């Protein structure tokens, strides 16, 4: 193609002129209020090679000369660049990824496991989850992977990446379906429980559970899910964590008051092995607990937007998050089980439709239920973010990044929200969803894949220590046992229910 431009000679130089005040003012009616200083700035110019690029051998010389350049007097960029997320914002986003509907199922797991074993497992699962997150961060940084699927592919190959992305899609879609089920149960009620709207307004159109969920989805969830950056959700994540803390504090206070007044029955301290049903419940309850800590799908997106990011800084985020979640989970599980005992539902939130036996019981019930519904509304878009990113990476591989395609992002959001809504109308309760995802996708994402990545890439980046290698093998074996036993327990549980 003919061109009016000619290549610059090998020894050519390029000079960027700096205008003084008078130059700017005379040529621009919209001159800045604080123009650059008028005195001339001298910068050594770099020679170009034959292709018109800066010769790399001169870069060091250029760096030396820059020491004489006063950056304060000569700002190179006007206008502040957008900073990334700080540690607090990252902690809120990661905590929100963990504390969702899983917290509502923990009192029911405590009913099955007993207080002692249940408390120990909450701490143990939290510690193991944090270790797996640190392994994931370490090797993601080493591989320069920007997503969960990329680090899996680097370690285990393309088929494993596809499998991991399918696990993320199934897990996150299942979690979001659970959120909608809880919203419907609390607001419109269920077979055995009265909804908030019924208690406020009596019978009406709000009894239509599917309609209420659809309205919430369209008016509140869809606008938040349309946001394209996870850092945009830092404030909503902070609010959601605050609402979760309110729920925990109210539950603990009620349980404490009733304990002091002697209105709480003695809880079971160990598992019940007295019946076939109790043993089956025990087999499926541990995968449900592992599901409560899975946040690994959001680790890379949060790390990518972390200001001054480093593996050490992200590990600090993970450890703070783990401490927060273990405390919230333990308090919720214990107080919920103490309050309702053997009547504890798979979704403990539905238990708060009855008289709690203390003063201001009705007001406290509303605070707990409405507050946690608001929490789920704010958590929903954080989980949806990684779901949308993963679907895009799997279906539109090789396309421009999702951040650069607003239409594709909105189209994916609409399709995914539609499928999630349909799923919420088909699945009967959160226990059914949690016990299957917990035994399959949650265990895989939280423990199996991170262990395999560490063992496969352990020879890189300084290598794994003997203790780290042993721990990776231990996590892998335990996760596989939990998965196999959980699936078998789920199958037998369904079979016994149908008989």
CA–CA gap between residue 173 and residue 179 (Å, rounded): 10
Specify the pLDDT at position 418: 92
Q: Where does residue 81 rank: exposed (0-12), middle (13-18), buried (19+ CB within 10 A)?
A: exposed
Per the document, the length of the chain is 499
pLDDT digits (tens, 9 = 90+) for 388-435: 888 988 888 877 777 777 888 899 999 999 999 998 888 766 666 677
Q: What's the token pair of residue 327? A: 């405390």
Helices (H), 31-157: 59-65, 87-98, 102-113, 115-143, 148-156
Q: How far is CA 10 from the centre of its chain?
A: 52
CA–CA gap between residue 460 and residue 78 (Å, rounded): 42
Whole-prediction pTM value? 0.71
Specify the pLDDT at position 161: 92
- Residue spans per domain, the chain: 1-81, 87-498
HSE on the CB side for 444, CA within 13 Å?
Answer: 22
Contact (Cβ atoms closer than 8 angstroms) between residue 248 and residue 331: yes
Q: Which residues of the chain have pLDDT under 70?
A: 1-85, 100-102, 190-193, 204, 206, 230-234, 273-281, 283, 428-433, 461-462, 493-499
Fold of the domain built from segment(s) 87-498: Amino acid/polyamine transporter I (1.20.1740)
Specify the pLDDT at position 496: 62
Contact (Cβ atoms closer than 8 angstroms) between residue 475 and residue 204: no
CA–CA gap between residue 95 and residue 102 (Å, rounded): 12
Contact (Cβ atoms closer than 8 angstroms) between residue 418 and residue 139: no
For residue 187, give Cα distances in angstroms to 208, 346, 364, 455: 10, 17, 16, 47
């Amino acid at each position: 193609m003919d061109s009016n431009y000619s290549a610059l000679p090998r020894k050519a130089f390029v000079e960027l002129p700096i205008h003084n005040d008078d130059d700017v003012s005379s040529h621009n009616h919209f001159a800045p209020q604080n123009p650059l200083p008028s005195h001339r700035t001298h910068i050594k110019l770099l020679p170009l090679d034959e292709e018109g690029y800066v010769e790399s051998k001169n870069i060091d010389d250029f760096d030396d000369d820059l020491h004489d350049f006063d950056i304060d007097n000569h700002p190179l960029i006007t206008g502040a660049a957008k900073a990334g997320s700080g540690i607090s914002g990252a902690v809120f986003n990661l905590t929100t990824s963990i504390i969702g509907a899983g917290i509502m199922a923990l009192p029911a797991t405590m009913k099955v496991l007993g207080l002692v074993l249940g408390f120990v497992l909450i701490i143990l699962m939290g510690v193991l989850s944090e270790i797996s997150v640190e392994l994931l961060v370490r090797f993601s940084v080493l591989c320069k992977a920007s997503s969960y699927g990329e680090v899996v592919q680097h370690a285990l190959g393309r088929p494993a990446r596809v499998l991991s992305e399918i696990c993320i899609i199934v897990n996150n879609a299942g979690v979001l379906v659970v959120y909608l089920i809880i919203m419907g149960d609390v607001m419109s009620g269920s077979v055995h429980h009265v909804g908030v709207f019924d208690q406020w307004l009596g019978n009406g159109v709000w009894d239509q559970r599917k309609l209420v969920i659809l309205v919430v989805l369209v008016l509140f969830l869809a606008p938040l899910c349309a946001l394209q950056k996870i850092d945009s959700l830092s404030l909503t994540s902070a609010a959601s964590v605050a609402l979760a803390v309110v729920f925990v504090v109210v539950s603990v206070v009620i349980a404490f008051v009733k304990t002091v007044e002697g209105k709480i029955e003695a809880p079971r301290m160990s598992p019940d092995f007295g019946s076939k049903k109790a043993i089956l419940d025990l087999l499926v309850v541990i995968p449900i607990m592992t599901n409560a800590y899975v946040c690994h799908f959001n680790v890379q997106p949060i790390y990518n937007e972390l200001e001054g990011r480093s593996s050490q800084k992200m590990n600090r985020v993970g450890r703070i998050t783990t401490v927060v979640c273990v405390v919230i989970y333990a308090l919720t599980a214990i107080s919920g089980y103490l309050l309702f005992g053997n009547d504890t539902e798979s979704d403990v939130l539905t238990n708060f439709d009855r008289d709690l036996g203390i003063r201001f019981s009705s007001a406290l019930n509303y605070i707990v239920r409405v507050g946690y519904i608001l929490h789920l509304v704010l958590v929903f878009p954080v989980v949806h973010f990684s779901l949308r990113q993963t679907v895009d990476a799997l279906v539109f591989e090789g396309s421009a990044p999702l951040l650069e395609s607003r239409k594709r992002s909105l189209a994916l959001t609409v399709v995914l929200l539609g499928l999630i809504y349909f799923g919420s109308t088909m699945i009967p309760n959160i226990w059914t969803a949690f016990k299957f995802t917990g035994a399959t996708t949650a265990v895989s994402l939280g423990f199996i894949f991170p262990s395999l990545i560490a063992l496969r890439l352990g020879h890189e980046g300084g290598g794994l220590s003997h203790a780290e290698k042993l721990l990776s093998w231990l996590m892998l074996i335990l996760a596989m046992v939990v998965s196999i036993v959980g699936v078998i327990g789920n199958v037998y549980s369904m079979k016994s229910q149908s008989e």
